[in-house]
């Protein structure tokens, strides 16, 4: 099928990106050999389609609704999911369907990874961010008071099933945040995707399954090359060294993740230009596309260069005291480098 990508890790799994397919989930699961009882853990925003799916799966299917948002990625929600699954007598051959944004995918995915030492998982992402990023790759987990994503496991899904028609209710800001990761995928690995995004109408582009699929394909490719994030997968961190530091300094929830990453991409592209790794024109081109999708590019005024430098040096991507940067060399091609003098970073941050 031409709407299907494939992750080849382990026994492998299909990643389907299409429009108006959510009702066909039972058949798609059957096709990949998933035959057990189904437990749908759904974002409360998805209550109506989730209930319809329960009816089509029939007898023995269970449903638990969870509010979306970062606050749900915690021990309390995880415990609610365990309580639900165990009360419904989950068995080893059963399947957990994570039906929602990245938050539901991460927490329900972690529950699937750990309940009864692991049951099958289907990711059915309903935000653009979850489609182009979190649903593929098998990272699951929750937050801890001492840090985001501090507890988790790799648990590859058996199927990723993305229906872009479900995005029509997604708030505009959430949609834009998802586009930030898609634009990032274009910059690091796919010049044609970047050009397509630059030419698309940002108000309707999400409805184009081919465009969304192309953005998902970059994540699929990178995961296929490097499942445990040793090398290539680091490229996905473009914009994230600075972006994570911004999120941490502002406090989570002030900016959406994708918004912080857009600012991070802008600053990191300027670092690449200052290193003469890329042409200065790349920065302008990227800015025009980010702005087209209503994404910010300027560092919030309450954050100083010094604060940002301090936080970045404590990031988990720092190896032996040196920051590992994913930086663009040209549109469609990024590299990993440690050779970025701190004074150059500081100069970029203060020059604006």
Ligand X SMILES: NC(=O)c1ccc[n+]([C@@H]2O[C@H](COP(=O)([O-])OP(=O)(O)OC[C@H]3O[C@@H](n4cnc5c(N)ncnc54)[C@H](O)[C@@H]3O)[C@@H](O)[C@H]2O)c1
Instruction: Enumerate binding residues for ligand X (CB under 6 A).
Output: 43, 45, 68-70, 73, 100-104, 106, 126-127, 129-130, 133-134, 137, 139, 149, 166-167, 169-170, 174, 257
Name the catalytic one among 84, 237, 266, 268: 237
| Catalytic residue flag (residue 314) | no
Nearest to ligand X of 256, 312 (CB atom): 256
- To ligand X, the closest distance from the beta carbon of 277 in angstroms equals 26
What would the DSSP string read from start to end of 119-159? -EEEEEE-SHHIIIIITSS-EEEEEETTEEEEEEEE---SE
Name the catalytic one among 73, 139, 158, 266: 139
| Catalytic residue flag (residue 229) | yes
Name the catalytic one among 158, 257, 266, 270: 257
| Catalytic residue flag (residue 237) | yes
| Catalytic residue flag (residue 233) | yes
- To ligand X, the closest distance from the beta carbon of 148 in angstroms equals 6
What would the DSSP string read from start to end of 173-230? HHHHHHHHHHHHHHHHH-HHHHHHHHHS-TTTGGG-HHHHHHHHHHHHHHHHH-TTSS
| Catalytic residue flag (residue 240) | yes
Strands 159-163 and 13-18: parallel
Query: How far apart are alpha carbons 127 and 132 in whole angstroms?
Result: 9
Longest Cα pair distance anywhere in the chain, in angstroms?
64
Nearest to ligand X of 167, 188 (CB atom): 167
- To ligand X, the closest distance from the beta carbon of 351 in angstroms equals 30
| Catalytic residue flag (residue 257) | yes
Give residue 133's Cα distance to chain centre: 3
Nearest to ligand X of 14, 102 (CB atom): 102
The closest alpha carbon to 113, from 88, 132, 85, 89, belongs to 85
Nearest to ligand X of 69, 118 (CB atom): 69
| Catalytic residue flag (residue 88) | no
* Contact assessment for residue 160 and residue 40, using Cβ atoms and an 8 Å cutoff: no
Query: How far apart are alpha carbons 55 and 276 in whole angstroms?
Result: 58
Q: Which residue has the tokens 């505009």?
A: 172
Nearest to ligand X of 103, 260 (CB atom): 103
- To ligand X, the closest distance from the beta carbon of 70 in angstroms equals 5
The catalytic site residues sit at: 117, 139, 181, 219, 229, 233, 237, 240, 244, 257
């Amino acid at each position: 099928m031409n709407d299907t990508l494939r992750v080849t890790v382990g026994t492998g799994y299909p990643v389907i990106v299409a429009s108006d397919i959510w009702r066909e989930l039972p058949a798609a699961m059957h096709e990949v050999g998933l035959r057990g009882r189904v437990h749908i853990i759904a974002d409360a925003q998805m209550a109506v389609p989730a209930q319809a799916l329960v009816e089509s799966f029939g007898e023995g299917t269970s449903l638990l609704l969870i509010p979306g948002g970062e606050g749900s990625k915690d021990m309390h929600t995880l415990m609610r999911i365990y309580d639900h699954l165990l009360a419904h007598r989950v068995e080893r051959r059963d399947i957990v369907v994570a039906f929602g944004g990245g938050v539901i995918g991460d927490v329900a995915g972690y529950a699937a990874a750990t309940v009864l030492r692991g049951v099958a998982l289907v990711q059915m992402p309903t935000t653009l961010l979850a489609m182009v990023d979190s649903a593929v790759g098998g990272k699951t987990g929750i937050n801890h008071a001492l840090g985001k994503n501090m507890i988790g496991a790799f648990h590859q899904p058996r199927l990723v099933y993305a229906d872009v028609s479900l995005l029509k209710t997604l708030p505009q800001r959430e949609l834009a945040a998802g586009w930030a990761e898609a634009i990032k995928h274009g910059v690091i690995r796919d010049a044609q995707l970047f050009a397509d995004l630059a030419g698309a109408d940002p108000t309707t582009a999400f409805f184009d399954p081919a465009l969304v699929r192309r953005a998902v394909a970059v994540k699929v490719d990178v995961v296929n090359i490097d499942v445990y994030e040793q090398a290539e997968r680091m490229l996905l961190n473009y914009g994230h060294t600075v972006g994570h530091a911004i999120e941490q300094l502002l406090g989570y929830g002030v900016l959406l993740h994708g918004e912080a990453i857009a600012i991070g991409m802008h600053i990191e592209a300027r670092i690449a230009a200052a290193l003469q790794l890329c042409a200065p024109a790349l920065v302008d081109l990227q800015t025009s596309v980010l702005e087209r999708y209503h994404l910010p590019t300027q560092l919030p005024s309450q954050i100083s260069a010094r604060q940002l430098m301090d936080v970045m040096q404590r990031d988990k991507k720092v190896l032996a005291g040196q920051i590992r940067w994913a930086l663009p060399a040209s549109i469609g091609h990024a590299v990993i480098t440690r050779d970025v003098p701190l004074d150059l970073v500081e100069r970029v941050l203060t020059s604006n």
